[in-house]
Structures are given as structure tokens and as C-alpha cells.
Structure 1
Amino acid sequence: MVQFIGCLIVFGGDQQEKVATASPLPAPTDKLAATLPFRILLADDNTVNQLVAKRVFERFGYSLKIVSTGLQAVEAARTGNYEVVFMDIQMPEMNGYEATGRIREILPADKQPWIVALTANSLESDRETCLQNGMNDFLTKPVRFAELETCLKAVPRRN
């Protein structure tokens, strides 16, 4: 069964184009959050992407905190004790690279979140740039359910 879950924004140059997408949703019994109970922060400035991500994470049993800027991401990470941060690269005020750097600077080692880059850029060089800038993992938009599940299963557990 395929259900419509919204639309995603495809970035290209200075234009934003809405693209309707139909994606199969995981079965309602697939509650990954029951076995991997993470506090998750999503930093993305696009409201449509935020709504789609919220629905996807809810299907896996997660609720998440959503912020719209890099500065908000840094503050939320500083005060929220998140295990996982999904970080858009292109945001106002402070991009995802800068926000990741600040989070790495201000949080002690035992409070560092696993930071996953979210980007429409899908080249191997984009992945390397994200990892070189302190991110732990990399997902391209639109995010596929299997890739998100694999990503969450790779997150190390805090003691």
C-alpha cells in the first residue's frame, strides 16, 4: 500500500520547486523508538520538510524537537540533551556546518549528539565535507525509510 505523506522541496540553484512524492510508510507496528529510544532534534528551515520529517519520525514512534535555524539548533543541543541531531546544511543565520562546529565546541564529550547531515547534495564529496565538518553520518533528501532506519541503528548508545 502506498500513502501520500506530503511534498518535499527539491533545491536547485536559487529556485525551490515543490515535488509531490508518494512513499510507502512503514507498518504501524514498526516502532523503532521502542528499541532505540532517542531524543531527536531536527534542524531544517523549510516548513514543508519539517512536516514531512515529523510524520516520518512519528511512524517510527518518535517525537522530535524541530528548529529552523543553526543558532536555534546550537541552543537546543546545549539545553536539550539530544542523542541525535538531524542537521540541514543550508539554513539562515548559521549553516549546518557552523552549527555542528559550535555544538562540538560547547558540549562536553559525554553530551555530544550523533549529528546526521541532511542535504539535497548527494555527491561523495558532499558526504566527505559533512564528515570533515564534525558530522557523524549523512542522508540525502528525500530520505528513504530504510536509510533512516539504518542511520538510527548506527547511533552509539550513551552510557
Structure 2
Amino acid sequence: MKFASDSPQFSYVELTLKLTAQSIINQGSVFEISGQIPLAEKSEVNFESKKATSNTEIQNLNILVAEDNETNQMLIKKILEKLGYKPVIVSNEVEAIHHVKTYPIDVLFLDIQMPELNGIEAAKILTQQNDLFIRPYIIAMTANANQTDKEDCMASGIDQYLSKPFHKEEIAELLNQFILDKISK
């Protein structure tokens, strides 16, 4: 278990634990861990602003982008690659739903305006059928940046909302927040 880091923001904690085990054949085992854990002092670290940028966290994140516009596909792919990710790109929501059901996806960037099935309907399908697969964190991408569209997105099960044109910093912040939320659970 990790109790400290090399960062000057943390101090080291010395911890001594005692592990005892009792086992009876064909009946089971009992394990007991005991020790004293010191109370922590109030931390001055603001965890909300901490960036989650380690290579392990980035490399382990499976990202799928559903976007029908080739220019937007290239743009978001380039941004994600500059951030250290290796996204998979599909050109419609039907492919996205199939991909999510087939492969483990952590984050799905979902274009709202798509020809076959719009992003809101796709998000509803993914949210309603999530007992068949692990539901990804869904980030809507849309050129319609009004409050009604944002509310419709959130009501459909979409987790975050990204207005086009988007920038590298916005995408990095959304992914950092996702990683921090994932780590804290």
C-alpha cells in the first residue's frame, strides 16, 4: 500500500502491521490484520487541481472517438496523440455502440450530429444496456453550444459536454478529471 510520494506535498507515514492466520483443513481460514494507524494532519494539497498525467494512467486509457467529419477526426486524433493517447476512430454511432459492446472502452468522444443515429440516442442506448458491458465515460462533441442542447445531452446519460471548436487544453482537462475520478473510486 502506498502512503507517501517523493513530492514535497506529502510526508511519509511509518506503519507497522501484524498479520495472523488460522487455518483448519476443509473448514477455511481466518486472517487478521492489526496495527495502529496515525491520524493524518489536515492536508494543504488541493486534489481537485492535481493533474493526472503519469504515463501509466495515459497508456491504460482506452479512448474511442465517434465522428463522421474527416477533418474533425484528424483534429481530435492529433490532439489525443499529442496528449499521449492512442484513440480508435469510428465514423458513426452504430460502429461506436458495436465497438463499446465488443472492446473495453474507458472514454467515448461522441459527436452529437451524426447521419445514422445521433449521439443523444446512442448515449441512451449505451446507458440503458450497460448491464451487457462496462459503460464508458461519454463526452459529447457538438457545434450547438446552447443550454438546451447541453441539458439534452446530460439527460441522455452523457457525462461531459465539449463545444466545437475544441482545444487541446479542454480535452486534457476533461481526461485528467476522468482519471482523477477513476483513481479516487
TM-score range, shorter chain: 0.7 to 0.9
Moved more, 147-156 or 94-103: 147-156
Distance 2:130 2:173 in 1: 26
- Residue 148 (structure 1) shift: 0.9
Distance 2:54 2:170 in 1: 15
* Residue-by-residue CA offset, 1:74-96 (whole Å, 9 max, x unaligned): 10111111010000001121110
Identity %: 33
Q: Which residue of 1 aligns with 2:148?
A: 125
Q: Which residue of 2 aligns with 1:55?
A: 78
Match of 2:98 among 75, 98, 112: 75
Q: Which amino acid in the other structure matches residue 118 of structure 2?
A: N
Figure out how many residues of one structure are paired with residues of the other and give that number: 129
Q: Which residue of 2 aligns with 1:85?
A: 108
Q: Which amino acid in the other structure matches residue 156 of structure 2?
A: N
Larger Cα-atom Rg = 2
Match of 2:122 among 99, 117, 121: 99
Contact 1:78 1:106 in 2 (8 A): no
* Residue-by-residue CA offset, 1:111-147 (whole Å, 9 max, x unaligned): 1110000001112222111101110000011111221
Runs of 4+ in 1 over 3 A off after TM superposition: none
Contact 1:70 1:99 in 2 (8 A): yes
Q: Which residue of 2 aligns with 1:45?
A: 68
With normalisation by structure 2, the TM-score equals: 0.64
Runs of at least 5 residues in structure 2 that lack an aligned partner in the other structure: 1-51
Secondary structure class of the residue paired with 1:50: helix
Runs of at least 5 residues in structure 1 that lack an aligned partner in the other structure: 1-30
CA RMSD, 1 decimal: 2.1
Q: Which residue of 2 aligns with 1:116?
A: 139
Distance 1:67 1:33 in 2: 27
Q: Which amino acid in the other structure matches residue 173 of structure 2?
A: T
